[in-house]
Chain A
Amino acid sequence: MTEAEVLQKLNEVFRDLFDLPDLELAYSMSAEDIDEWDSVNHVMLVVQIEREFKIKFHTAEVEEMKNVGDLVKLVLGKLNTAASR
């Protein structure tokens, strides 16, 4: 999966979960830019991303996710690790 594909899939998750059909994710976006992205929804978001990409985040990683760019990098890294195994 390429970086662009990961971003696109994440975009769909954000749209469905937050009911924002027109949302266009950008790397620099963080929770502060999206009202719906509060701490409660963050938990949902993480669970859904884990399911969507069939990956599991480390407890520490979840706390370090600050913006969309971090998220894409993290997901991509996990997918690559899984693929090289």
Chain B
Amino acid sequence: MLPSELTWLPGQPEWNDYLKRVAALESASTWDALVELANARLDMMTTIRLDRQLLKLFKDCPGSLQTKPIRLAVLGSSTVDHLHAGIRIGALRRNMWVSLYQGNYGQYVQDLHDAASSLHAWAPNTMLFAFDARHLLAGYQVGESADASQARVKATIDRIVQSWKTARSKFACEIIQQTILPIYPRLVGENESRLPGSPAALVRSINEQLRTRAHEEGVTLLALDQWAAEDGIAAWHDPALWHRAKQEVHLAAMPMYGDIVARILAAQQGKSRKCLVLDLDNTLWGGVIGDDGIEGIVLGQGSALGEAFCDFQRYAKDLARRGVILAVCSKNDEKNALLPFEQHQDMILRRDDIACFSASWGDKATAIRAIARQLNIGLDAIVFADDNPFERNIVRRELPMVAVPELPDDPAFYAATIARAGYFESIAMTAEDAMRTQQYRANIERESERENATDLPSYLKSLEMKLHWSRFTHADQARVVQLINKTNQFNLTTRRYSSDDVANLLDQPAVLPLQMRLVDKFGDNGIISIVIGYMVDQTIDLDTWLMSCRVLGRQVEQAVLGIVVEQARRMGAHRLVGHFRPTEKNGMVAEHYLRLGFSALPGRAPDQQFELHLDTYTTVPTFFDITESQHDRSRSITKTQ
């Protein structure tokens, strides 16, 4: 097995036959079958064959997809076309559609700058710069002065940053930059960086600086050097292939490369997974708690196996700290299942770390459906980790949208397998990410309080809810983009905005871009609702209205309408028009505008329109304390200092 293989995906013994059957099919379910085929442990050959079928069966993006079609240009100074199949199949694996720009070999500079180039006509919405080391380091001089060497690095970085800026200004596209593969053999050895001009050292410096600059410029990295460090450079680069075909990235690594590109594209659309559901026995500890008891399970110091389980728990805990929701799904009596969490001193995970704890004897597919419902997330946001192949397979069969990694036998490799799959790929980290498990736990506590509360109004009143609203701010931009791109259920139009799109809305007098933050007695929920309206002829046209499902059933919508109405009047509007564009996931808001008192306008599907006349409308009272927050948080900090 090559170290660059898709180790987290299961082998499908029937894959060949299945592909042949799908090739003969011509029905709406063909796409789903292709997605299923893509979710097997493919290699170069199977990836190419599946890609061939994909291109044959789908000339265009299928209309049923929830994701935005991607037009990706991979620009490089050497051969990149051999990577296309991997990227298309990586996207297919995630239910996404990518069309790829077919450029001419080595023409990226002309493509980028020349307004008459075919790239301009093709109009990409995402660009991936995949520069090879030999191109970037052309003319290097071993033994030059340290100053000259530094200047060389700086000039190279400046050139790359200039490419980003050109791409931005000409195409207004998302930008991904691949880090440089460390292909050069060392000249000095362990202390390579002491030799100015050493190509190996130059690549290293360039990669370090790329990280800083990419962060500053809002460019997403594809950290190929990191993959080479994990898998070994031989898995990613074959000098013979370079000499033969100018392929910097090894053809055999193409499926993995494509998967990495696709996970970034998915993250840009908020399609990364959100929740890790963990089995207990033989997944978080060795043995069976119900049989072996608290003394009998293998966990912690004193045994190599016990330490391996601790390490996996630590990985899960670290994931939670950075915003992944943790849940438990175990076939157990709840009392037994909780025992280690409460009493075992070597447990790294505590009950507090688990947002939703499900222990029962029912089947796991049903249990996972219930977990998704309780947490208000989609099944396609869930990763299910279980050591037991039987449970893995039944969940894969019943719930194909749940990701189920093929965990290896040895728990020492659980964490690496899950990490390799890139399920939780994130592009920007926000303050809300760090608090997520707490928020979801608090949510479930609120739910249980609701069960005790006698009626909804008094329950809502008891929550002491405060709604802080403002127009979009620079400080919260990352969270706003995240929310816009990953909210699927409470989302009236499911229109996605890139970071640049959002930035363009700031300070536009005819636009009403609102963000709402909810605080209650259980804590700060962060920004939970977004409305974007455009003023046209004394009407505010509500292009976007969305809300995090964590705060459903709390009359946030009514309160938000109050804010929108007040601001619309201030801007001189006399009417609101709202849109509902149905998708597979947003059925819950089909009645949204009618519930708020709008009346339906005649119109054609799929865009249903509703209007509200402001001159006659009176605001409905809610249980919120509504305040306008003082703009940018960073600015208000400066003020108080």
Contacts and interface: CB of A to CB of B under 8 A. Distances in A.
Q: Do A and B come from one complex?
A: yes
B44 interface: yes
A46 B48 CA distance: 15
B189 to A, nearest CB: 26
B236 to A, nearest CB: 13
Given A16-B45, A51-B43, A43 B247 contact: yes
Contacts of A13: 45
Interface residues of A, number: 14
B251 A43 contact: yes
B119 to A, nearest CB: 21
Contact of B243 (A19, A40, A48, A59): A59
Nearest to B52: A19
B252 A47 contact: yes
A47 B49 contact: no
B244 A59 contact: yes
Given A43-B245, A43-B251, A48 B45 contact: yes
B244 A51 contact: no
A43 B83 CA distance: 13
Interface string A56-68: 0101001000000
A53 to B, nearest CB: 13
Interface string A12-35: 010011010000000000000000
Contacts of A17: 45, 48
Contacts of B45: 13, 16-17, 48, 51
A40 B45 CA distance: 15
B24 interface: no
Nearest to A41: B48
B44 A51 contact: yes
Contacts of A57: 240
A40 B48 CA distance: 13
Judged by DSSP, the binding face of A is helix
Contacts of A16: 45, 49
A44 B245 CA distance: 10
A75 B2 CA distance: 20
Nearest to B81: A40
A44 B240 contact: no
B394 interface: no
B52 A51 contact: no
Nearest to A59: B240
Interface in B42-71: 43-45, 48-49, 52
Interface in B12-58: 43-45, 48-49, 52
Contacts of B82: 40, 43-44
Nearest to B46: A16
B243 A44 contact: no
Contacts, number: 38
A6 B191 CA distance: 47
Nearest to B247: A43
A64 to B, nearest CB: 13
B241 interface: yes
Interface in B271-326: none
Contacts of A43: 82, 241, 244-245, 247, 251
Contacts of B245: 40, 43
Contacts of A19: 49, 52
B251 A44 contact: yes
Contacts of A51: 2, 43-45, 252
A41 B2 CA distance: 21
Interface string B72-101: 000000000110000000000000000000
Contacts of B2: 51
A77 B166 CA distance: 53
A47 B52 contact: no
Interface in B239-261: 240-241, 243-245, 247, 251-252
A62 B241 CA distance: 10
Nearest to B245: A43
Nearest to A21: B20
Contacts of B52: 19
A48 B44 contact: yes
B167 to A, nearest CB: 27
Given A59-B240, A59-B244, A62-B244, A47 B251 contact: yes
Nearest to A48: B45
A31 to B, nearest CB: 15
Contacts of B49: 16, 19
A44 B52 CA distance: 15
A39 B241 CA distance: 13
B3 to A, nearest CB: 13
A29 to B, nearest CB: 20
Nearest to A52: B45
Nearest to A44: B251
Contact of B241 (A40, A47, A48): A47
Contacts of A62: 240, 244
Nearest to A58: B240
Contacts of A47: 44, 241, 251-252
Contacts of B244: 43, 46, 59, 62
Nearest to B238: A47
Interface string B595-617: 00000000000000000000000
Contacts of B240: 57, 59, 62
Interface in B215-270: 240-241, 243-245, 247, 251-252
Q: Which of A13, A43, A44, A47 lies at the interface centre, i.e. has the most chain B CB atoms within 10 A of its CB?
A: A47
Contacts of A48: 44-45
22 contacts: A13-B45, A16-B45, A16-B49, A19-B52, A40-B245, A43-B82, A43-B244, A43-B245, A43-B251, A44-B44, A44-B48, A44-B251, A47-B44, A48-B44, A48-B45, A51-B2, A51-B43, A51-B252, A57-B240, A59-B240, A59-B243, A62-B244
Which 10 A/B pairs are nearest by Cβ-Cβ distance? A43-B245, A47-B251, A59-B240, A48-B45, A47-B252, A16-B45, A19-B52, A43-B244, A16-B49, A62-B244
Interface of A: 13, 16-17, 19, 40, 43-44, 46-48, 51, 57, 59, 62
Given A17-B48, A47-B251, 5 more contacts: A16-B49, A17-B45, A19-B49, A19-B52, A44-B48
